[in-house]
Structure 1
Amino acid sequence: MEKKKNRIKALLTPGEVAKRSGVAVSTLHFYETKGLIKSTRNSGNQRRYRRDVLRTVGIIKVAQRIGLPLSTVSDAFSTFSDDHTINKNDWKKLSSSWREELDNRIRMLIALRDQLDGCIGCGCLSGVDCPLRNPGDKLGANGTGARLLLDE
């Protein structure tokens, strides 16, 4: 019996990447359409990914977990060449810039939370006076009635 060698495959199938990264194959295809990851095609026209895609998918998942939009991730990745493997120094730069965005979001959420405390006693969510829904009656200038469901 011939002993199997521990060979590291240069390219991975979508199924292998999905299994190792914990995302669905359809998610990999979605990331690819957004330009976040890249694949090549084999002679049978099947997708194959470089091994470093596992690190890239991991970074995407971390970014999503902290609430960053994929457009922010895409912008960050656009600074790298297609054949670049993200390394420790790259991660420091990415996480530093994302930290600033996350800190800004935290400040905004704390301010919203503190404004919400003021509404608890009122309960009216007045269309004119509510500092959360319509600060300074900015919607009143557009006429009466509902104007929008969510702030832009």
Structure 2
Amino acid sequence: MTTLISIGTLAKRSGVKASALRFYESKDLISSVRSSGQTRQFPREVLRRVAFIRVAQNVGLSLEEISAALASLPQQRTPTPEDWAQLSQSWRPMLQARIDALCALQTLLDSCIGCGCLSLQKCSLYNADDQARHLGSGPRFLMGDSAADLVLKE
């Protein structure tokens, strides 16, 4: 027999507010059953599922990515340590791409310290004479374009 706990107990034990738990439930990340008094009751193993969600969020995954990971588990079960190892391995390339993007952004910001222009149109270092306009709208160099792309576009 599955032990059921109230939403208040789940909130207290997981450190997640009841409103967030209701939101997770609305997104089908967790599920409850209703008691005869129509209050939410959660299987005790939902504690591990909530822990999984919180850790995945702390890693930087979106709720959509977390939902897809949980949906990949048989019968919506709570992730096991083996599941976590497999899922976290599959996330490594995405996380590395995010790390690389942040490092590139940090390098760009470091090279502009002291300039003070705060304008990608006027910046003589990164966008002399607003040449990046040929690449499209938006902050082209921050989006990954380079000066070499300008030569190809012209």
Q: Same fold (TM over 0.5)?
A: yes
Residue 73 (structure 1) aligned to one of 52, 66, 74: 66
* Match in the other structure for 1:136: 132
Higher helix share: 2
TM-score under structure 1 normalisation?
0.77
Q: Which runs of 4+ in 1 moved over 6 A?
A: none
The percentage of aligned residue pairs carrying the same residue is: 45
Could you give the per-residue CA deviations for residues 38-89 of structure 1, whole angstroms, max 9, x where no partner exists?
1111222111111111111101111111221111101111112445231111
What TM-score, normalized by structure 2, do the two folds share?
A: 0.76
Q: How many residues align?
A: 136
Partner of 1:12: helix, strand, or coil?
A: strand
Consecutive unaligned residues in structure 2, runs of 5 or more: 144-154
Query: CA, structure 1 residues 10+54, in 2 after alignment: closer, same or farther (shift >3 Å)?
Result: same
Listed as ranges, the gaps of 5+ residues in structure 1 are 1-7
Post-superposition Cα deviations, 1:7-39, rounded to whole Å, max 9, x if no partner, equal: x97111101111110011111101001111011
| Within-5 A mapping of 1:22-101 | 22-101=15-94
Shift, 1:97, TM fit: 2.0
Q: Encode CA deviations 1:75-134: one digit per residue, 9 max, x unaligned.
A: 1111124452311111111211223222111110000111112211422122325559x9
User: What is the CA–CA distance in structure 1 between the aligned matches of 2:63 and 2:31, rounded to whole Å?
Assistant: 15
Aligned residues of 2:52 and 2:79 also touching (Cα < 8 A): no
Q: 1:106 aligns with which of 82, 99, 103?
A: 99
Q: Is the 8 A contact 2:35 2:41 kept in 1?
A: yes
